[in-house]
Amino acid sequence: MMNKLQISEEIRALGQQAEREIMPYFARIEEICDRNTEKVLAAFAKNRVSDNLFAGTTGYGYDDHGRDTLDRIYADIFGTEAALVRIGFVNGTHALSCAMFSAVKAGDTVLSVTGPAYDTLQNTITGDYCGSMKQYGIGYKQVDLVNGMSDLPAIVQAAQDPNVKLVFIQRSRGYAVRKTLSCAEIGEICKTVRAVNENAVIMVDNCYGEFVEDIEPTQVGADLIAGSLIKNPGGGLAPTGGYIAGRADLVENASYRLTAPGIGGECGCTMGQNRLLYQGLFMAPHTTAQALKTAIFCAKVMELLGYEVSPKAEEPRYDIIQTIAFGAPELLCRFCEGIQAGAPVDSFVTPEPWAMPGYDDPVIMAAGAFVQGASIELSADAPMREPYVCYMQGGLTYSSGKAGILLAAERIHNQKKA
């Protein structure tokens, strides 16, 4: 007898209906995947990737040819002068923080043009912590989005301040109820800033957006991007780490923040992880496409169940995140329980809200992943605050992602019947 997950025939039928309706949208995802795969393969070929690059180093990590070659490959893929790809970045926030400090010093001002930065990054900018920008005397200004769109006139006014030396753009939505920016929209912001402030560095938080389009923010005017390897670019194989890519001087400055002034990227052993970073990058366009398909399936299933979703299944996608507005904490928790039940790791665990470091509200997180916290693997999380919006992302394979979504639908369907 075939082993099966506990999903009712009613929900299975709903999933089949959803899949029939979304199939036309998959062709565009496959087309982008093909283009990005060619981009990755071309960079591997240009940099003569061979087995000898996979050997790791220990200690100081001097002359790690595999590490340094991977830097050049990332730079080629993202169309930049340089890149810094390191397992020493503990998460995306760490990479973003190092990147931000590459462009500012005491007396300068950071201007965020997409509203408040992501919860954990706010600690770097305005937090009362040793080493924060606030503690170093770096100022902060903010331009909020208007109806989810960039307020270009307000950006013009704010960016004219000669003290503004870093303009920050968050591509994805974070825990905000807003749309993700396309590269075209980011390009418009870049042109707007450049017209009134030629000296400001434009930086983009690229988390969740890599390989979703066939271009990246650095190809439309951004000076610097940063992100996490346990999201899209690690392809589900990278065990940890982050990257920074952009102007060579900025990348070098960021490397000093990661290690120490004068040392920068010259040190940092890879401890045998190079193979996974290379293979993960090779898989990244495909894995990202699987996550996008999972997100579209989630959107359609939840919409059929009567919930408000963003983006809708038929809408263009600029990151891998799918939101579902539940309006009540119980339904949000049941959804996360279903996602956890569909995980390959810790499927028997019941997620509970907890005081996660760096967040003001308790956060519930379903993440039964091979790599702890890897949001390229199927996961769902949310701050426990109104309007109780869940943020679902990832899916190493569409088939497993689909199963997780159906289990989540089953849980909330049963909750409503109770």
What phi and psi values does residue 56 have, to the nearest 5 degrees? -90, 170
CATH of domain 9-35+284-417: 3.90.1150.60
More confident residue, 173 or 221: 221
**pLDDT (mean) for 50-66:** 96
Same fold, 9-35+284-417 and 38-280: no
CA dist 289 and 229 (Å) reads 16
Nearest in space to 301 (alpha carbons), one of 13, 6, 7: 13
CA dist 326 and 335 (Å) reads 9
312 has pLDDT over 90: yes
287 has pLDDT over 60: yes
Characterize the bridge pairing of strands 139-142 and 109-112. parallel
Sheet holding 109-112, edge to edge: 82-86, 242-246, 224-228, 201-205, 164-170, 109-112, 139-142
Assigned token pair, 393: 């992302």
In sequence order, what DSSP letters do the residues of 264-311 get, joined into one string? GGG----TT-HHHHHHHHHHHHHHHHHHHHHHHHHHHHHHHTT-EEES
CA dist 45 and 214 (Å) reads 19
Q: Where are the alpha helices (DSSP H) in 62-174?
A: 65-78, 92-101, 119-126, 152-159
pLDDT in tens, 249-275: 999 999 999 999 999 999 999 999 999
**pLDDT (mean) for 200-215:** 98
Q: What angle do CA 242, 38, 223 make, to 5 degrees?
A: 45
Amino acid 222 reads: A
1 has pLDDT over 60: no
Q: What Å distances lie between residue 347 and 225, 336, 340, 367, 399, CA to CA? A: 35, 11, 5, 9, 16
CB 279 within 8 Å of CB 235: yes
Domains in the chain: boundaries: 9-35+284-417, 38-280
pLDDT in tens, 5-15: 999 999 999 99
Which CATH number applies to 38-280: 3.40.50.2300, 3.40.1160.10, 3.40.640.10, 3.30.1490.20? 3.40.640.10
Of the pLDDT bands very low, low, confident and very high (cuts 50, 70, 90), residue 2 is: low
178 has pLDDT over 90: no
Among 101-115, 120-134, 233-247, 351-365, the range scoring the smallest mean pLDDT is 351-365
pLDDT score, position 139: 97
pLDDT score, position 120: 85
Of the pLDDT bands very low, low, confident and very high (cuts 50, 70, 90), residue 361 is: confident
More confident residue, 415 or 160: 160
350 has pLDDT over 60: yes
Assigned token pair, 25: 């949208």
Q: What percentage of the chain reaches a pLDDT higher than 70?
A: 99
Of the pLDDT bands very low, low, confident and very high (cuts 50, 70, 90), residue 148 is: confident
pLDDT score, position 174: 77
Assigned token pair, 224: 């610097």
> What three-state secondary structure class fits 399?
helix
pLDDT score, position 337: 96
**pLDDT (mean) for 154-168:** 98
| Mean of all residue pLDDT scores within the chain | 95
